[in-house]
Amino acid sequence: MGKVQTFKTEVSQLLDLMINSLYSNKDIFLRELVANAADAIDKARFESLTKPELARDWQIRLAVDKENKTLTISDNGIGMTESEVIENIGTIARSGTKAFMQEMAARQDQSTAAPDLIGQFGVGFYSAFMVAEEVTLITKKSGSDAPAVRWISKGEGSFETDTDPRTEPGTEIILKLRPTCENYLEEWKLSDIVHRYSDFIAYPIIFPHVKVNEDKTETIEDRTLNSQKAIWLRKPSEITEEEHKSFFSHLSNWGGSEYLQVIPIAAEGVQEFRALIYIPEQAPFKFLMPDLQKKGLQLYVHRVFITDECKELIPDYLRFVRGVVDSSDLPLNVSREILQENPLLLKIQKAVTTKVLSELQKMLDNDPEKYRKFFREFGKILKEGIHTDMQNGEKLKKLALFETMNSKPGELITLTDYVKTMPENQKEIYYITGESRAAVESSPALEYYRAKGFDVLFMTDPIDEWIMQSMYQFDKKNFKSIIRGEFEADEEEKKTLDEAAKKYTKLVDFLKKSLDGDVSEVRFSGRLTDSPCCLVIEGNALSPHMERLFKAMNQEIPRTKRILELNPAHPLTEALNARCEAGEEGLDRFARVLYDQALLTEGSPIPDPAAFAKNITELLLGHLKKD
């Protein structure tokens, strides 16, 4: 008769959590037990480095007994004595792994390096009760004369221990499955879980496969369920192009898409992790649908799969990358599913982000066409970081590409290129926002800059208006919207504008009165060379482009009155002023056409298209009758 003992209070509480609510996915019990088995083998393999007689063919085995509804997970690792079983399973205050590492540190034996070990045996072990109504553990300590130990519990507050006739070192865990969990007796189910969570465990995970021969007889043959090929742990020079393609396909599941660039990372020192990051060649259709796209990298800890969507490993503006991170420092304990709260993840994110941005800069410097191909696919997303990642803001500005007034349609340049071509008398970086190149290149606001030989950035991505809130400077030069604020005229230009204001007083007063509900001010500007007028904004008011974006998202926003700027040299200015001075009646339709024309040229809808058409018809008719 074995000895019956009671679990410590905290263990009973943990069992209740484990069985009822801790994990949302019961499949991970096998991940936990396999990880523990790999941990036990790591310990035994390390011992065998100084005691060769303990070396053996390391392996983890799975077996099912459908008649008795049991699943067995066994290993030939380090095993435990009875006292270790009590310490490591009877309480969560002890950790076999932690104690082992402390022992290795105490030895201070520099001739052999202690293996990196994961988890806390006692905690991961309890996940077995999610699927088992009774758990039996049989274990024998490697290199010890102590007898094997049998441990049995139904997870109801107590456990029983006794000796066992087992003679081989290692541990065997027998799960008497709950009626609702008998699907874990199926080979396909176990194979699927191993492939998903434990494919890269360093030791073979073996299952006795029943093979039906041609003569209808059955043969049992061992089948290895895991590949044991952690591609990210190999030297980059040893990985073939086909292996990269295969692994990227496994990571992305994007259906036929290939990767554009691979980025291996090997971090050593204070924090150790390995990573393999892929920049996709193109975005899939579902990438534009937030509910369908995955964000984050796959996270492993010592080859043990944790999650395929760890958002904390990569900033949101790099969500297009695919890859895997394998950490040597992160813990595997009771809170695997809330591992994201671990501060070490932020350090990994910083290192991964720095490396990815560095590689993108190298791509831009060494293969501009390749980079432009990448940017056309993911530039809109990458630019989000300018506004959200202040630490890497300057790096991201250097990586941003834009069309400009002086560049050919579709040609993208960097801010560095823009600054290099600035004339000496240009002090600021000029830009205009809008829906498309076609929408902004006809803006009257460009006329002055075109005449002066200055270039203007065309910011036509919806994200551009938002990021400009953070784009204060580049290369110590301020950004300046050409449709915002007063025109900065030189002395000669100021003199011309002052004379125009005095000369055309009647016209300005008339337009202010006629368009009182639409514009906040009417003034003359040197911004125009060909067009009669344009609308500009001042202060922090929303740009017309931003207003249209909000309206497209059904967002209610207060209407902003803009400033109507007039071209003092345009013939229409003098002609309309003459009619105002003559006191001619019915000029309001001229004011409306002038205002609607300004709206159209900036790309904004006119408030009353029917009235605009009627006014145009009347003006044309009046002109034709005079002729």
- 35-54 pLDDT per residue, tens: 889 889 988 988 888 889 88
Tell me how far CA of residue 314 lies from CA of 134, 164, 247, 324, 397, in angstroms: 41, 49, 19, 11, 19
Q: Where in the chain is the domain with CATH 3.30.565.10?
A: 3-224
**Residues whose CB falls within 8 Å of the CB of residue 61, separated by 6 or more in sequence, listed in order:** 72, 73, 74, 75, 205, 206, 207, 208
Whose CA is closest to 163, among 173, 155, 152?
152
More confident: 9 or 172: 172
Rg of the chain, C-alpha, whole Å:
36
pLDDT digits (tens, 9 = 90+) for 384-403: 999 999 999 999 999 999 99
Report the SS3 class of residue 622: helix
Query: 439 falls in which pLDDT band (50, 70, 90)?
Result: confident
**Angle (nearest 5°) at CA 147 between 68 and 126:** 50
pLDDT > 90? residue 492? no
Compute, in degrees rounded to 10, the torsion defined by CA atoms 563, 611, 551, 533.
-20
Q: Which residues of 396-423 are buried (b: 16+ CB within 10 A; e: fewer)?
A: bbbbbbbbbbebeeeebbbbeebeeebe
CATH number of the 231-367 domain: 3.30.230.80
pLDDT > 50? residue 103? yes
Query: 499 falls in which pLDDT band (50, 70, 90)?
Result: very high
pLDDT > 90? residue 247? no
Q: CA-CA distance, 178 to 594, in Å (whole number)? A: 80
- Write down the pLDDT at residue 396: 97
Query: Residue 140: what are its φ and ψ, rounded to 5°?
Result: -135, 130
Q: CA-CA distance, 282 to 574, in Å (whole number)? A: 55
Q: CA-CA distance, 470 to 468, in Å (whole number)? A: 5
Per the listing, tokens 């002052």 go with: 498
pLDDT digits (tens, 9 = 90+) for 305-349: 777 778 889 999 999 999 999 998 877 653 455 565 678 888 999
CATH 3.40.50.261 is the classification of domain 3-224: no
Q: CA-CA distance, 230 to 216, in Å (whole number)? A: 38
- Write down the pLDDT at residue 57: 94
In 10 A of CB 625, how many CB atoms? 7
Distance, first Cα to last Cα, the chain: 121
Per the listing, tokens 């530039």 go with: 379
Contact indicator for 385, 396 with CB cutoff of 8 Å: yes
Query: 478 falls in which pLDDT band (50, 70, 90)?
Result: very high
- Write down the pLDDT at residue 23: 55
Q: Which residues of 43-61 are buried (b: 16+ CB within 10 A; e: fewer)?
A: bbbbbbeeeeebebebbbb
For residues 540-566, give the mean pLDDT: 79
For residues 134-156, give the mean pLDDT: 93
Query: 99 falls in which pLDDT band (50, 70, 90)?
Result: low
pLDDT digits (tens, 9 = 90+) for 117-141: 444 444 578 888 889 999 999 999 9
Q: CA-CA distance, 147 to 205, in Å (whole number)? A: 26
Burial zone of 570 (CB within 10 Å; 0-12 exposed, 13-18 middle, 19+ buried): middle
- Write down the pLDDT at residue 118: 43
Query: 19 falls in which pLDDT band (50, 70, 90)?
Result: low
- Write down the pLDDT at residue 475: 93
More confident: 96 or 181: 181
More confident: 555 or 358: 358
For residues 407-420, give the mean pLDDT: 95
pLDDT > 50? residue 558? yes
534, β-bridge pairs = 565
pLDDT digits (tens, 9 = 90+) for 192-205: 999 888 888 889 99
Query: Residue 321: what are its φ and ψ, rounded to 5°?
Result: -75, 155
What CATH architecture does domain 488-627 belong to? Up-down Bundle (1.20)
- Write down the pLDDT at residue 7: 72
**Residues whose CB falls within 8 Å of the CB of residue 225, separated by 6 or more in sequence, listed in order:** 62, 190, 191, 194, 195, 205, 206, 207
Mean pLDDT for the chain overall: 85
In this structure, which long-range contacts are made by residues 206-212, counting pairs with CB atoms below 8 Å and at least 24 apart in sequence? 206/59, 206/60, 206/61, 206/62, 207/61, 207/62, 207/63, 208/61, 208/63
Give the count of alpha carbons within 13 A of 143, CB side only. 15
- Write down the pLDDT at residue 216: 80
Q: CA-CA distance, 248 to 242, in Å (whole number)? A: 10
pLDDT > 80? residue 24? no
Q: CA-CA distance, 40 to 118, in Å (whole number)? A: 10
User: Can you spell out the DSSP letters for 101-162?
Assistant: HHHHHHHT-TTSPPPP--S-HHHHHGGGGGTEEEEEEEEE-TT--SPEEEEEE-SSSEEEEE
- Write down the pLDDT at residue 310: 84
Give the count of alpha carbons within 13 A of 288, CB side only. 7
Q: CA-CA distance, 456 to 527, in Å (whole number)? A: 14
- Write down the pLDDT at residue 375: 96
Query: 292 falls in which pLDDT band (50, 70, 90)?
Result: very low
Q: Where in the chain is the domain with CATH 3.30.230.80?
A: 231-367
Per the listing, tokens 């692994």 go with: 247
Q: CA-CA distance, 45 to 169, in Å (whole number)? A: 12
Highest mean pLDDT among 150-154, 251-255, 267-271, 539-543: 150-154
- Write down the pLDDT at residue 122: 47
What amino acid is encoded at 605 in this protein? P
pLDDT > 50? residue 94? no
pLDDT > 50? residue 97? no
Please tell me what DSSP assigns to residue 7: P
More confident: 114 or 626: 626
Structure tokens at 463: 């994200």
